Structure 1
């Protein structure tokens, strides 16, 4: 007997998702303008792109391109609705004249057209902010970009400019902070290459502590591994107090910070700090770049969550977005400072037990040691 798969359930009207509230606001606004076309002068600035439905965009564009009929003619004959239909139909296939009559019947009160227009503008602001937040997330997580930091910061600038423009459009009101729960944090990048770069930063900074004072742009929270961030805090603390920095002093500081465990004891710490290669600034920039992209990813997720919460007003989304982007700006300031800072002059790196080969571009253009083990 053939094993026939069970038939799939038929698609029913119940499977169609419910229309969002803005759909009915758009219908009511267009209906008001069909019933009283001269009210288009009272709805404020509104563009066809503000509408979420392509059909509604075509109808409103037709209304803005045509001259409304005289009131006495409009009251006697359906010249306005016929003219709008003829103008919009080439831009919206399948647009039936009956739908325009449906829109006229969907308007509770034509005098409320300005209120309907405000609803349309508010939802357009929500969709636009969400689209820019998605572009920010995409840039921060796209490993194939040639310069992900530059693209991500450009997306952040575009989002900030949009928020500033919208802030001049929507008035403030009490309770302006959004109450949307914070989204789940993005998972940290991991892998042998990332761990190796953080280890190399620790070992080279221990070997060349003169690089630590100029590297104040790097913070322990920039590290993806908490242990390595703690070890960097030990290095920064010793350097900040003007105390000697070497493998043993860092080991003692790590003990004082409670970083030594059964899995990471003195032997493991000394071994980790014993293989310097390349300038600390280079490895620090790699770590800070990942921190910048991670913060941008988190900012995009937060702003996206604000827009998906329909309880937030435009002003709440604007306020929340500005605060979220301020956190990204703090990391961005450190990144800009790091990439403009000249390297500290030092002697060539000493070969360690795990010698590394292959050129990395240094800040001066000369090749420096690679993190790949030699064969």
Structure 2
């Protein structure tokens, strides 16, 4: 037997139970159907804020139908019928009995403001989840011509949404989410990603002077742990001012315990011997892949927050901002790799024989007569 509180439920047993906001929406609609004048008390609420489509259509019909006279509304269902007729084109499943059900299940019409606040909070949670999903989709969409730039743009849109959200919900104690987080999604270890890292290590070994200026690249940017460790060997040699070539890198790797049964001296030499291109070129690719992976991890973290209904809007804002902060530092380093080098014009040497500024020279009398 279908549940009387949902106009679209059927007798299928595998349907999930309605979420808590479903009952908040019913309670608000029941309060407004009883007392239409409360529409002016509930604050900024839109039909799109409702999770249930039929509820949103019914609320929109209330906004579009002129409010009745309070005395007439007590004795006549005319306004209820007008609202139902206005809502049915967008929600054909609505019936007059459902409107009466909403009225009956409303605990206290005087609590309409609280019910509206609950609906806005749940809409904020769903909207935040949508922004996080867009960030994840953008970061993983290989068809985009400028995927990293598009991902950064989507992260900015998410940050602006959080700023707007923070202004609509008051802060409160215990602002950090307590949601258990899953491990970050695995990094891309396909052949293209591994080849970029191999070419980077080899070219940095062959051209250490160029690699010396690549402070924007760190070991955490690498997808392969071995490649990250070899990069640390290169940066350590550079920091000490030691010579850099495949053999010195091998020796440093040995002292760092990188040589094992699956990493032999010969294989490590092969890793850093075949130099192709510039280390900055390959470094930019490695940082870009790290940026995309971090964006997907941030999106997964925010999605986990929104999937936990125990989190309040303020907790969602605080946790999401901290997640975006993890992306900000990596974004700054990536932007450094794509920023055009600022041309420096050579300074013009001052002519030491040029006279200093001062008063004009005094003209002598013979020179004045000669000028005439």
TM-score by length of 2: 0.87
| 1:308 maps to 2:307 | yes
1:229 paired residue number: 228
User: What is the distance in 2 between the residues matched to 1:149 and 1:60?
Assistant: 41
| 1:247 maps to 2:252 | no
Shift of the alpha carbon at 1:226?
0.3
Shift of the alpha carbon at 1:58?
0.9
Name the SS for the 2:116 alignment partner: helix
TM-score by length of 1: 0.86
The C-alpha deviation readout for 1:192-215, integer Å capped at 9, x for no partner, is 222221111001001111112321
2:275 paired residue number: 276
User: Pairwise mapping of residues 34-49 of structure 1 onto structure 2 (< 5 A)?
Assistant: 34-49=33-48
Name the SS for the 2:172 alignment partner: coil
1:27 paired residue number: 26
Unaligned runs of 5+ in 1: 1-10, 344-375
1:194 paired residue number: 193
Shift of the alpha carbon at 1:321?
0.3
Q: Which deviates more, 283-292 or 254-263?
A: 254-263
User: What is the distance in 2 between the residues matched to 1:24 and 1:94?
Assistant: 18
| 1:82 maps to 2:84 | no
Shift of the alpha carbon at 1:218?
0.7
1:371 paired residue number: none
2:119 paired residue number: 120
Q: Which deviates more, 70-79 or 224-233?
A: 70-79
Give the greater-gyration-radius structure (CA): 2
1:207 paired residue number: 206
User: What is the distance in 1 between the residues matched to 2:192 and 2:141?
Assistant: 17
User: What is the distance in 2 between the residues matched to 1:12 and 1:71?
Assistant: 39
Shift of the alpha carbon at 1:184?
3.0
The C-alpha deviation readout for 1:36-69, integer Å capped at 9, x for no partner, is 0101111111111100111111111111122211
Shift of the alpha carbon at 1:113?
0.1
What count of residue pairs does the alignment treat as equivalent?
A: 333
Q: Which deviates more, 58-67 or 221-230?
A: 58-67
User: What is the distance in 2 between the residues matched to 1:278 and 1:224?
Assistant: 20
1:336 paired residue number: 335
Shift of the alpha carbon at 1:185?
2.1
Name the SS for the 1:91 alignment partner: coil
Q: Which deviates more, 324-333 or 85-94?
A: 85-94
User: What is the distance in 2 between the residues matched to 1:142 and 1:52?
Assistant: 28
1:107 paired residue number: 106
Unaligned runs of 5+ in 2: 1-9, 343-372
| Cα-Cα RMSD | 1.5
User: What is the distance in 2 between the residues matched to 1:261 and 1:341?
Assistant: 41
User: Pairwise mapping of residues 251-270 of structure 1 onto structure 2 (< 5 A)?
Assistant: 251-270=250-269
2:135 paired residue number: 136
User: What is the distance in 1 between the residues matched to 2:246 and 2:147?
Assistant: 35
1:219 paired residue number: 218
Q: Which deviates more, 73-82 or 27-36?
A: 73-82
Shift of the alpha carbon at 1:12?
5.2
